Amino acid sequence: MKSFRRVVITGVGAVTPIGTAADGLWSGLEARTSAVRTLTRFDPTPFRSHMAAEIPDFRPQDHLDAKRAKRLDRFSQLAVTSAGLALADAQISPRQEDGDRVGTMMGSALGGVSFAESQVPRYLAEGPRGLDPSLALAVFCGAASCNIAIEFGFTGPNATNAMSCASGTIAIGEAFHVVRDGRADVMLAGGAEAPLAPLTFAAFSVIRAMSTRNDDPARASRPFDAGRDGFVMGEGAAVLVLEERSRALARGAKIYAEVVGHAYTNDAYHMTAPRPDGRQAARAMRLALADGDVSPAEVGYINAHGSSTPLNDPTETSAIKQVFGDHAYRLAVSGTKGYYGHALGASGAIEAAICALALARGWLPPTINLEHPDPHCDLDCLPGGRTAFPAAVVSNSFGFGGINAALVLRPDGGAR
């Protein structure tokens, strides 16, 4: 029987609306304050929704070589910056690594589509000669993982998936399997998204997926609340360093958590609506638990997808009950998108980072803006957060097309 290697998280890098790097992200969570504001990137008045979670102070030249930063569009800038922050946090020097044993896996729902959108007026005004020469290299989702590999010289397994809002979670899960199976010793894995451009924003507005609580943006994203009316679009990126455990211990690395399970399924039901019975979302969680040899009773916390949409939140609640039975009511469940909106393919990576930090620091972040709990979402959704050290946690991500993905993490607890 094949023996699997253990995989731990030794670095966290993030660029989000509530903070940058591991400590900035954590401080943003502790502040219990939403980053959602009236959109400033462009005039939102033509749209039903007027708000978003923007990163307020990201300057790529603060993190990347100025010439290099200029050649990358925003989504790739966020990806490469987060990867650099994760490597620094893990105290890994790329030049000292065997590049063939280090790889990159990323997720992004839209890749460089927003950058491509910005080029349309130039094309209409000047024809092909008006286009930025980097357009063809920036628009595809794979630019995230490829630019990270180029930046740091990593020649191991490399891929970017575009599975909607589950992309970041799938990237981390697949990277976990790569290290566990021995195909690499270290993987950088996460998600990046920069969707705040008029056409992209309009595409989600026209299908009435986004909140229209325009008079109170900071309270618009409200997972599991009876007054929720849609998600709030955000931007951001997060990258984790996944490392073979004995290697991490040998070099004295700090360990945030151990990744033990991952799985994903598809509803095969509808492109935007979740399957009403939630059974495939439940199956994704069951398969992830089985992958990690974790019993439902061991799980103490779930970071829910919690998109703040009318259909997703009760469906996810139902799926959790299907998996955990009576134990579901003893679980802590929080939806953290109230802080930073929904960064589409990056959300799962941000939330996996939050789970790792929560395990390491012993505090479960709250579901902010949960003022009037929906009776159909009747689990313990942590309106105030909680000090706790769960034996295992689950991070869920669900996306358009019916994709359901789950990760299972444990605290690093020595031999098993």
List domains and CATH numbers for the chain. Answer: 7-250 (3.40.47.10), 260-410 (3.40.47.10)
Mean pLDDT in the chain? 96
> Which residues are paired to 192 by β-bridges?
237
Helix axes 21-31, 347-361, angle to 10 degrees: 80
pLDDT, tens digit, for every residue of 291-318?
A: 999 999 999 999 999 999 999 999 999 9
Of 168, 338, 231, 235, the closest CA to residue 15 belongs to 235
Q: Quick one: which of 374, 293, 282, 289 has its CA closest to 335?
A: 374
Q: What is the pLDDT of residue 288?
A: 98
Q: pLDDT-derived band of residue 414, with 50, 70 and 90 as boundaries?
A: low
Mean pLDDT, to the nearest integer, of 71-91? Answer: 97
pLDDT of residue 415: 55
pLDDT digits (tens, 9 = 90+) for 205-253: 999 999 999 999 999 999 999 999 999 999 999 999 999 999 999 999 9
The full 3-state SS of the chain, as one line of letters, equals CCCCCCEEEEEEEEEECCEEHHHHHHHHHHHCCCCCEECCCCCCCCCCCCEEECCCCCCHHHCCCHHHHHHCCHHHHHHHHHHHHHHHHHCCCHHHCCHHHEEEEEECCCCCHHHHHHHHHHHHHHHHHHCCCCHHHHCCCCHHHHHHHHHHCCCCCEEEECCHHHHHHHHHHHHHHHHHCCCCCEEEEEEEECCCCHHHHHHHHHCCCECCCCCCHHHCCCCCECCCCCECEECEEEEEEEEEHHHHHHCCCCCCEEEEEEEEEECCCCCCCCCCCCHHHHHHHHHHHHHCCCCHHHEEEEECCCCCCCCHHHHHHHHHHHHHHHHHHHCEEECCHHHHCECHHHHHHHHHHHHHHHHHHCEECCCCCCCCECCCCCCECCCCCEECCCCEEEEEEEECCCEEEEEEEECCCCCC
Sign of CA dihedral 55, 211, 222, 220: positive
User: Which residues are CB-contacts of 374 (< 8 A; sequence separation ≥ 6)?
Assistant: 224, 225, 226, 228, 313, 314
Tell me the pLDDT band of 286, cut-offs 50, 70 and 90. Answer: very high
Predicted TM-score (pTM) above 0.95: yes
Q: What is the pLDDT of residues 192-206, one digit of tens each?
A: 999 999 999 999 999
d(CA 110, CA 123): 21
With tokens 């990258």, the residue in question is 239
**Is residue 62 very low, low, confident or very high in pLDDT (cuts 50, 70, 90)?**
very high
CA–CA–CA angle 71, 352, 287 (5° rounding): 120
- The residue whose two tokens read 């893990």 is 90
Structure confidence by residue, pLDDT tens digits, 346-375: 999 999 999 999 999 999 999 999 999 999
Please state, in angstroms and rounded to a whole number, the distance separating the CA atoms of residues 245 and 414: 10
Q: Would you name the residues annotated as active-site residues?
A: 165, 305, 342
Write down the pLDDT at residue 3.
Answer: 74
In this prediction, residue 1 has a pLDDT band, given cuts at 50, 70 and 90, of very low
> Is the dihedral angle over the CA atoms 176, 392, 406, 171 positive or is it negative?
negative
Query: If you average pLDDT over residues 393-401, what whole number do you get?
Result: 97
Write phi, then psi, for 349 (nearest 5 degrees): -70, -40
d(CA 283, CA 263): 9
Per residue in 131-175, pLDDT (tens digit) is 999 999 999 999 999 999 999 999 999 999 999 999 999 999 999
Residue 413 has pLDDT above 80, yes or no: no
Tell me how far apart the alpha carbons of residues 223 and 375 are, in angstroms, rounded to a whole number. Answer: 13
Q: Which of 360, 351, 14, 10 is nearest to 185 (CA)?
A: 10
pLDDT digits (tens, 9 = 90+) for 254-284: 999 999 999 999 999 999 999 999 999 999 9
| Distant-in-sequence, close-in-space partners of 241: CB < 8 Å, separation ≥ 6 | 9, 10, 11, 12, 13, 86, 87, 89, 90, 92, 186, 187, 188
